[in-house]
Amino acid sequence: METRTRIVLLMHPMEWKDERCTTGRLACLNLANSEILQGIAFDEHPRVRELIDDPANFPALLYPGKDSIDLNAGGLEEPGLRASLEARRLVVFLVDSTWACSKAILRESPGLLALPRLMFTPREKSRWYIKRQPDPVCLSTLETIHELLLSLEEAGLDAYPDKERLLDVFMRMQAYQAERKAAGSRPRYLGCGKN
């Protein structure tokens, strides 16, 4: 699926190595304009630098906080922001890891926190039913990307042509793992062998 926004997942090595069937990977398999970069310290990562330094791009970090631009609460109405977003391609960096590992990435990549930060208010609680989330508003990476694209489309900054696609993949992945668990296997690892 094509989107105007480029989605860049910054994946911690533990997530990269141990979780071969992540929702971030599933999302990237379904989005033409997305990629996954693995590491901890991203400030000097060649691909991250290329995306940030390209004047045609508007790089931003999707990370909640008091200084984040809330896509659902009129945050795009700051003077000059909408014009800049419309003139340049939005590149959204997402840290794809556990909360603890995400903090390690941000600690080792302070340049990411210097980027404009985006956030949104989820329209729905997490749809995870095979995994416990620490809070109902904690979303999987795939759900986060889905909500981001909904918010960007609502703001007139992107088109999200197939709104069911990502969620359908997510629900089918969970159904498969639940089916494997019922059959007595270790669903987390079945079919997700090391490449």
Distances (CA, A) of 27 to 50, 62, 108, 145, 171: 22, 16, 25, 8, 12
Amino acid at 132: R
Note whether residue 188 is domain-resident: no
Which range marks the domain in which residue 122 is found?
6-182
- b/e string for 92-119 if b means 16 or more Cβ within 10 A? bbbbbbeeebbebbbeebeebeebbbbb
Structure tokens at 44: 């000097």
pLDDT at residue number 78? 75
Considering the domain boundaries, does residue 33 fall inside one? yes
Give the pLDDT score at 84. Answer: 86
Count of domains in the chain?
1
Domain contains 192: no
pTM of the predicted model as reported, rounded to 2 decimal places: 0.85
Does 190 fall in a domain?
no
Domain assignment of residue 193, yes or no: no
Q: Is the residue at 60 inside a domain?
A: yes
Q: Tens digit of pLDDT per residue, the chain (195 long)?
A: 999 999 999 998 877 665 556 888 889 999 999 999 999 999 999 999 999 999 999 999 999 888 888 888 877 777 778 888 889 999 999 998 877 788 899 999 999 999 999 998 887 776 665 566 666 567 888 889 999 999 999 888 899 989 999 988 877 887 887 777 788 765 554 444 433
The total of other beta-carbon atoms located within 10 Å of residue 26's CB is: 19
- Residue-level pLDDT at 135: 60
Tokens of residue 34, six digits? 């997305």
Residue 1 lies in a domain: no
